[in-house]
Structure 1
Amino acid sequence: MNLVARIAPVLVFLIAVTVIAELADKAKVFEVAAREAAHLARGRVWRLWLLVVVLATGLTIVLSLDTCAVLLTPVVLAMARQLDVPPKLFAFTTVWLAGTASLLLPVSNLTNLLALHQFRQLDASYLAVSWRPAIAAVLITVIVLAVLFHRDLRRTYVVPETPHVDDKVLFWGATAVCLLIGPAFVSGIEVAWPASVGALVLVVLFAVRRRSALRWGLIPAKLVIGVAVLFAIVGFLTDHGLENLLRRVAGTSSELRLSVTGAVGANLVDNLPAYLAMEPVASSDAHRMMALLIGVNCGCLLTLWGSLATLLWRSRCDAARVDISWWSFLWRGLILTPLVVTGAVFALSLG
């Protein structure tokens, strides 16, 4: 019963925030934001990239890494194609920031939402522990991107026209919901509530203005079922000795060792089951919990299956005919991952 009570709010949040993101996308919120960024950058790729960095970071923090990786990626890739600028710069910006910017708030990643239960049991403020490593992770990611793609950042482009918005009521309504749920998520209210209210508002608005956009496919049924199954599998393995094995591997004192173990697990089997399996190893202390989150959130960027968001991002890249091979992803990840994990753990130790 305790397991059901714990995962139910997470699954409700996952459904609600997915509905919000999908309907906001249909209202052209993200497309307009990307094009406005192109206007503000005034023809300079480095300015446009910095604005995409801000947009990707904000979307990840407020609407979760899946929103950034899945919905923003096709928008920025289409924008890159229309502007005739290198798409890989923007592709890696979205997927890397989807991972490394997902530390700050509980709503930014499903692993964080699961960890929130432990933070409450420890009577610790999640944000008080997360803000230093979160800032460090984002800054390191931006620096690495700038170094790896410095030639692309020197390019220029012709400023495009702003896209036409078919229904301004839907656009501004969806924009308002996206802006308002951010403060609601950090207000201390159980995050499933503001997410559910925001989703309901948009569903009603679309029912009145564009009923054809409402379909059962908006609900991520397969993802919800997958998350529930992962809970069950990891619970079974934990009851049969997995916890003791992971405790020996991760150790009991070094936060960096714990983060590295979490990162290895995430790249082997996906970050969500890696977190679930290792949670008991880290649950004695808020800093160890954050070290684990650093590992599974920021350290999962070596393999294309390191997180569900990365898999979905790859499919969007394929659809946009942007080739990202496993080797291309791995060698860049081998540069970023050690730096971001080490830097974030160091920032955590300063708290």
Structure 2
Amino acid sequence: MELILSVAALASVLAFALLRPHRWPEAVIAVPAAALVIASGAISWDDALAEVGRLAPVVGFLAAVLVLARLCDDVGLFHTAGVMMARATSGGQIRLLASVFAIAAGVTAILSLDATVVLLTPVVLATARTLAVPPRPHAYATAHLANSASLLLPVSNLTNLLAFGAAGLSFLHFAAAMSLPWLAAIAVEFVLLRWFFAKDLAVEPRRAAVTEPVEVPVFALVVLGLTLLGFAVTSLLGLSPAWAALAGALVLGVRALATRHTTVTRIAAAADVPFLIFVLCLGVVVAAVMRNGLESAMRDAIPEGQGLAALLGIAAVAAVLSNVVNNLPAVLVLLPLVTPIGPAAVLAVLIGVNIGPNLTYVGSLANLLWRSVVRRDMRVGFAEFSRAGLVTAPLTLVAAVLGLWAWIQLFGL
């Protein structure tokens, strides 16, 4: 009975998060669902509190990074990125696509996939409108790179933050091990999306490239650089990288408030407290499902070992599960099962849950957020999104796992 109730609670939370009726926050259903599994005995109060305590540092880190990304937008960093992308059209749309890839990969890695979807995608769409070129190749680049380019750093994705602790690696070790998978994923995505959208990319810009001067927000870039250095330092000192993220957000926030580039209200809204509550409650619901039968069922599906075949199998299972229940629950389900196998298995799960969501809208909440962002500029149906995903995701997944395996062979883990 507890299993049925837990699964029903999880299904209701995911359905609500995917549909977002009336744009209500996900916490509207997640809080009652978590309360239900606790009240029914599917998970004890002590175990629920332990799960919340485990996720709390990760959620705090996420809040600081979200605020940091919004502040970068407030001081003009993403506007500058748009000007740079528009200038790239002097070499045609292929150069524009390459610049979108480079900027989206950097934004995703440093400021998280949410920044790419929410802040960069509108800039890309506006650039396409200004130049009178088809927006689809460039918009899809932001969608796919929000997922697949989030492999590099622990801060790039909420799934990374969860896997970071399980892998037992330092910040720098994690980034080094994921550098080859990250580069491989970006390269394969570029080649395949360029082929998939060849007809759109053949259209020449019908308006001249933008001549607006590039005004680089130097202070924001310096703060970002120091924040990244802080991530590495805090990790070496055994402290949570959340402290570095908080310091960066405070410094940039005080400067933005002093120069009137932002307001306290905008900063508070950027933290997205309802989403943070949703993550905590989702963790409780997933823990209830795991304790009532899913753990034993999934254990049989996980390949043993950390060889190439096993890593490919683990990544494939993670990718499939992401497109069944969404990548956030998928990583919560799989991490306890693969952590005893070793750090390579944890990173393989990460490759699966970060690249796999490009297959369908269901794969990640970022996909659905992206769809709502681009809806005013272009129609993107489930079939088209999935066709692009089928062309890119499987090969990108294999390339990233091969990159991880190559790193392990060369340098160990």
TM-score scaled by length of structure 2: 0.78
Amino acid in the other structure paired with 1:183: L
SS at match of 1:91: helix
Q: Give the C-alpha shift of residue 235 in structure 1.
A: 1.2
Counterpart CA distance in 2 for 1:41 and 1:121 is 41
Amino acid in the other structure paired with 1:59: V
Q: Would you say 1:191 and 2:241 are equivalent positions?
A: yes
Q: Would you say 1:218 and 2:270 are equivalent positions?
A: yes
Counterpart CA distance in 1 for 2:405 and 2:141 is 27
Q: Would you say 1:238 and 2:290 are equivalent positions?
A: yes
Alignment partner, residue 343 of structure 2: 286
Q: Give the C-alpha shift of residue 154 in structure 1.
A: 3.6
Deviates more, 1:22-31 or 1:173-182: 173-182
Superposed, 1:119-158 pairs within 5 Å as 119-120=167-168, 125-157=173-205, 158=208
Alignment partner, residue 271 of structure 1: 327
Cα contact 1:99–1:298 (8 A) shared by 2: yes
From 387, 393, 400, the equivalent of 1:331 is 387
Alignment partner, residue 180 of structure 1: 226
SS at match of 1:305: helix
From 399, 405, 412, the equivalent of 1:343 is 399
Cα contact 1:129–1:287 (8 A) shared by 2: no
Q: Specify every segment of 5 or more residues in structure 2 that has no aligned partner in the other structure, as ranges.
A: 1-48, 409-413
CA root-mean-square deviation: 2.3
Amino acid in the other structure paired with 1:325: G
Deviates more, 1:156-165 or 1:73-82: 156-165
SS at match of 1:118: helix
From 31, 47, 51, the equivalent of 2:79 is 31
Deviates more, 1:62-71 or 1:146-155: 146-155
Q: Give the C-alpha shift of residue 121 in structure 1.
A: 7.7
Q: CA distance change for structure 1 residues 258 and 221 in 2, over 3 Å: closer, same or farther?
A: same
Counterpart CA distance in 1 for 2:370 and 2:224 is 21
Counterpart CA distance in 1 for 2:89 and 2:388 is 26
Q: Would you say 1:261 and 2:305 are equivalent positions?
A: no
Q: CA distance change for structure 1 residues 121 and 85 in 2, over 3 Å: closer, same or farther?
A: closer
Q: Specify every segment of 5 or more residues in structure 1 that has no aligned partner in the other structure, as ranges.
A: none
Q: Would you say 1:67 and 2:121 are equivalent positions?
A: no
Amino acid in the other structure paired with 1:235: A
Counterpart CA distance in 2 for 1:211 and 1:37 is 23
SS at match of 1:42: helix
Q: CA distance change for structure 1 residues 92 and 137 in 2, over 3 Å: closer, same or farther?
A: same
Cα contact 1:36–1:162 (8 A) shared by 2: no
Cα contact 2:338–2:345 (8 A) shared by 1: yes
Counterpart CA distance in 2 for 1:242 and 1:121 is 27
Q: CA distance change for structure 1 residues 44 and 179 in 2, over 3 Å: closer, same or farther?
A: farther
Q: Give the C-alpha shift of residue 233 in structure 1.
A: 0.9
Amino acid in the other structure paired with 1:140: V
Q: Give the C-alpha shift of residue 69 in structure 1.
A: 1.5
Q: CA distance change for structure 1 residues 123 and 191 in 2, over 3 Å: closer, same or farther?
A: closer
Counterpart CA distance in 1 for 2:318 and 2:159 is 12
From 106, 112, 125, the equivalent of 1:58 is 106
Counterpart CA distance in 1 for 2:169 and 2:296 is 22
Residues 226-250 of structure 1, C-alpha deviations (whole Å, 9 max, x = no match): 1101111111112112111111122
Q: Would you say 1:313 and 2:370 are equivalent positions?
A: yes
SS at match of 2:354: helix
Amino acid in the other structure paired with 2:353: V
Identical pairs, percent: 37
Q: CA distance change for structure 1 residues 273 and 164 in 2, over 3 Å: closer, same or farther?
A: same
From 77, 95, 100, the equivalent of 2:148 is 100
Cα contact 1:62–1:181 (8 A) shared by 2: no
Amino acid in the other structure paired with 1:256: L
Amino acid in the other structure paired with 1:301: N
Residues 120-147 of structure 1, C-alpha deviations (whole Å, 9 max, x = no match): 2899932343222222111111111111
Residues 58-109 of structure 1, C-alpha deviations (whole Å, 9 max, x = no match): 0111111111122100000011011101100111100111111111111111
Counterpart CA distance in 1 for 2:225 and 2:262 is 25
Q: CA distance change for structure 1 residues 109 and 123 in 2, over 3 Å: closer, same or farther?
A: closer
Cα contact 2:117–2:143 (8 A) shared by 1: yes
TM-score scaled by length of structure 1: 0.91
Counterpart CA distance in 2 for 1:243 and 1:124 is 31
Amino acid in the other structure paired with 1:335: V
Q: Give the C-alpha shift of residue 152 in structure 1.
A: 3.1
SS at match of 1:300: helix
Q: Would you say 1:300 and 2:384 are equivalent positions?
A: no
Counterpart CA distance in 1 for 2:260 and 2:147 is 33
SS at match of 1:151: helix
